[in-house]
Amino acid sequence: NELHWKLSEGAYGIGRARYSLCITSASIAGWAGTFPHNPFHVPVNIDVTGESAQVAAGLIQGQIKDVLSAVSIMRQAKASIDPRYAKQTEKLEYLDWDDLSSDEQQLCPPLFLVGGDDLLGAHGFSQVALLLNSSYPIKVVVFSELDSGLVTDGLQEYRLNRRQDSRNNLAMMAMSQQNAYVAQTSIADNNHFQQSVQQLLSNNSAGLICVHTPSPQRHGFAPEHTIRQAELAVLSGMFPLFQYNPQDEGVFGTRISLHESMVQEINDSTDELNLNPVHWAINEKRFQSHFSELTANAVSPVELSDWLKLTTAEKNKKTPFMSLSDEKGDIEKIAISKDFASMVAEQYALRRTLQELAGIVTPFTDYVEQCAAERLSSEHQADLDALRAEYEGKIADINAAHQYETHTKIRNQLLGLAGYDASKLN
C-alpha cells in the first residue's frame, strides 16, 4: 500500500527521510534555493514569506498525521494478533500526538526550522515561542549575526531598541519557556557544539539551538580570522555559551549548564585573559563607526571600566575609551560610542543574570552564609552549654566526695587522739 511504499522506497527510492527542513532568512534561503547548491535528499521547504514558524508548524502537523496513521495500523495489527491490545483500538479515531509512547513518537522524523535571528528573532519570536511550548519534534536552528542593534544599514528609524529586540537574547527568551531544550553554542568550542547538537536530537519534543555564525563577507574581516572571531565572541562575553535541558533532574536553575568561561567574572581589563566585547567588535568593519581615535578635544574621556560604573546622567557627560595595543605593540587610545558602551553594559548584565540563574553567582550568598553561620554558632553554643553543664556536675560530685573523705579523715584522727577507736564508732 501507499504507507509501505513511503517507508520502504519513497519518491527518491531511499525510503523514509530521517528529517525535514524548513529554511528561512534571506542570506540562507538565497543560497539553498539556488541550483545546484541545494542537493538535498530530504523534504525541503524554502520560505521567503517571513512566516516560517507558522509554515513549520503546518509541516510538522502533516508529518505527525502520517505517523498517527501508521501507529493506528500497527495497533490494529497488534490487536488482531493479541487480544490484550484490543483496548488500544477503541480510540484510534481520536489518536493524538500526546497519546503516542516515546518509541512511537520517535517514528516521526524531526523538522529543522533553520534561519537567522533577523526573522526568527525580533517580531518572529512570538511564533517561535509557540513552537517551543508544543511537544512536536521541531528543532529550531538560529544563526546569530550578533549585530546587537548597532548595525543599522541606514534603517535607524525602523530599528527596535536593543532592549526590545529579542535577537540580542533569543536563547535566553527561549529558555524562559522552560519546556524545550535550549542551547547557545559556537564553532569556537567543538565539544560544546557537538554536545549541544546531540542533546537537541535526543529530545523528542521541541528545542532551539542558537549558533554564532561569523561571516567574513558580511561582517568585514579576513576569512582566516573566522575561528578567532568566534573565540573572541565567547571569551569576551559577547556570546556566552550555555545549555538548558528540561529533562535534567532538579529545578530550573540546576538544569542550566554554563560554559567554563562563564564561571569566571568579566573584568574590564585589556589583558589578553580578560577580554570584553570591544576586543571582538573592533576587528569587524561593520562596527567601525563606533570606534575612533581619542582626540585631544574629546569631552571628559574616561576608561570604559570606570564609565560603566557611572550614573546615567554622568555617562552622558563623559567619553568612554579603551587603551589597546596595535600590531607594533604601541598603546592606542580608542574612543567608543555611547551606544556601543551601553551595549557592553547590557552584555555584562546578561552574563550576570545567567550566572545567577545557574547559581554560580547570587546576591543571596552573603545572607545564606550569615544564616548558616548563625545556625552553626547557635548549635555550637548549645553543645558548649551542655558540655559545660555536664562537666560542672561532675566537678560538683568530685568536690562533694572529696569533702566527705576529708571530713571523715579529720574526724577519725580527732577520735584517735581522744583515745577512741574510730573504726568501732563508725
Integer Cα distance of 110 and 139 in angstroms: 7
Residue-wise over 134-161: b if at least 16 C-beta within 10 A, else e?
bebbbbbbbbbbbbbbbbeeeeeeebee
What is the per-residue pLDDT for 240? 93
Q: How much is the average pLDDT of 400-425? A: 75
Q: Is residue 50 exposed (0-12), middle (13-18) or buried (19+ Cβ within 10 Å)?
A: middle
391 CB neighbour count, 10 Å cutoff: 10
- For residues 71 and 2, state if they share a domain: yes
Summary mean pLDDT of the chain: 83
| Choice between 361 and 154, residue whose per-residue pLDDT is larger | 361
pTM of the model: 0.78
Pair (247, 308) in one structural domain = no
CB count within 10 Å of CB 299 equals 10
pLDDT in tens, 237-263: 999 999 999 988 888 888 999 998 876
Question: Among all chains, which residue has been given the C-alpha cell 567554563?
Answer: 260
Average pLDDT over residues 281-293: 93
Question: Of 328, 344, 365, which residue sits at a domain end?
Answer: 365
DSSP helix/strand/coil, 203: coil
pLDDT at 416 over 80: no
Runs of H (alpha helix) within 183-237: 190-202, 216-219, 226-235
- 241 with 302, same domain? no
Residue 357 included in any domain: yes
The answer, yes or no, to whether residue 270 has pLDDT greater than 80, is: no
In the chain, how many domains are there? 3
Phi, psi for 310 (deg, rounded to 5): -80, 165
Asked if the structure places residue 406 within a domain, the reply is yes
Mean pLDDT over 349-357 rounds to: 89
Both 229 and 324 in one domain: the answer is no
Residue 116 in 3-state DSSP? Answer: strand
The answer as to whether 269 is a domain residue is no
> Pick the residue with more confidence: 181 or 49?
181
Same domain, yes or no, for 351 and 379?
A: no
Higher pLDDT, 15 or 315: 315
Residue 251 shares a structural domain with residue 223: yes
Whether residue 167 is contained in a domain is answered as: yes
Query: What is the pLDDT, as a whole number, of residue 422?
Result: 64
**Where does the pLDDT of residue 76 fall: very low under 50, low under 70, confident under 90, or very high at 90 and above?**
confident
Q: Which three cell numbers stand for residue 332?
A: 592606542
Pairwise pLDDT comparison (198 vs 87), residue with the higher score: 198
Are residues 138 and 174 located together in one domain of the fold?
A: yes
The mean pLDDT of 157-171, rounded to a whole number, is 59
At residue 238, the pLDDT reads 92
Question: In the numeric block, which cell numbers belong to residue 60?
Answer: 510538522
More confident residue, 161 or 147: 147
Of 322, 7, 345, which Cα lies nearest the Cα of 162? 345
- pLDDT per residue over 368-397, tens digit each? 777 878 788 777 777 888 888 888 888 888
Per-residue confidence (pLDDT) for residue 154, from 0 to 100: 47
Phi-psi region of 320 (alpha: psi -120 to 50; beta: other; left: phi over 0): beta
One domain for residues 290 and 406: no
Does residue 68 fall inside a structural domain?
Answer: yes
| Whole-number Å distance between alpha carbons of 182 and 177 | 10
Same domain, 360 and 370: no
Q: Tell whether the model's pLDDT for residue 331 goes beyond 90.
A: no
Tell me the pairing of strands 20-23 and 111-116: parallel
> Quick one: average pLDDT of 298-302?
91
User: For residue 381, is it within any domain?
Assistant: yes
Shared domain for 165 and 70, answered yes or no, is yes
Q: Are residues 160 and 200 in the same domain?
A: yes
Mean pLDDT check: name the lowest of 213-227, 319-333, 368-382, 410-424: 410-424
Describe the crossing of helices 125-132 and 52-81 by its angle, rounded to 10 degrees. 20
pLDDT of the residue at 301: 92
The pLDDT tens digits for 190-202 are 999 999 999 999 9
In a domain, 346, yes or no: yes
Select the highest-mean-pLDDT range: 69-83, 103-117, 375-389: 103-117
Lookup result for grid cell 538560529: 142
| Confidence (pLDDT) at 30 | 66
C-alpha cell of 2?
A: 501507499
324 φ/ψ angles, rounded to the nearest 5 degrees: -125, 155
Q: Measuring CA to CA, which residue among 61, 67, 138, 68 is closest to residue 108?
A: 67
Work out the percent of the chain whose per-residue pLDDT is above 70.
85
At residue 38, the pLDDT reads: 66
Interval 342-364 mean pLDDT: 86
Nine-digit cell at 217? Answer: 563577507
pLDDT at 34 over 80: no
What number is the average pLDDT over the span 49-69?
89
Inter-residue contact 275 to 328 (CB < 8 Å): no
Question: Do 361 and 345 form a contact (C-beta atoms < 8 A)?
Answer: no
Q: Are 20 and 59 in contact (CB under 8 A)?
A: yes
pLDDT value at 157 more than 50: no
User: With contact defined as beta carbons under 8 Å apart, do 152 and 159 qualify?
Assistant: yes
Quick one: pLDDT at residue 415?
Answer: 73
Higher pLDDT: 98 or 423? It is: 98
Please say whether the dihedral angle defined by the alpha carbons of residues 253, 256, 260 and 262, taken in this order, is positive or negative.
Answer: negative
**In b/e form, how buried is each residue of 340-375, taking b as 16+ CB within 10 angstroms?**
bbbbbebbbebbbebbebbebbeeeeeeeeeeeeee
> Mean of the pLDDT values across residues 116-125?
79
Among candidate residues 348, 205, 221, the one with its CA nearest the CA of residue 274: 348
pLDDT at 319 over 60: yes
Average pLDDT, stretch 332-348?
A: 93
pLDDT at 158: 43
Q: Percent of the chain scored above 90 by pLDDT? A: 37
CA 192 – CA 348 distance, rounded (Å): 22
The Cα 281–Cα 10 span in angstroms is: 48
Q: What is the pLDDT of residue 161?
A: 52
What range does the domain containing 391 cover? Answer: 366-421
For the cut 90, the answer to whether the pLDDT of residue 210 exceeds it is yes
Rounded Cα distance between 300 and 320, Å, is 9
**What CATH number is given to the structural domain containing 141?**
3.40.50.970
Question: What pLDDT does 418 receive?
Answer: 72
Query: Does 345 lie in the same domain as 404?
Result: no
Which whole-number Å values give the CA distances from 200 to 61, 116, 150, 210, 362, in the listed order? 20, 18, 31, 11, 29
- Residue 189 main-chain phi, psi, to 5 deg: -130, 100
Q: At which residue does the C-alpha cell 551606544 appear?
A: 339
- Give the distance from CA 403 to its chain's centroid: 74
How far apart are the C-alpha atoms of 112 and 56, rounded to whole Å?
8
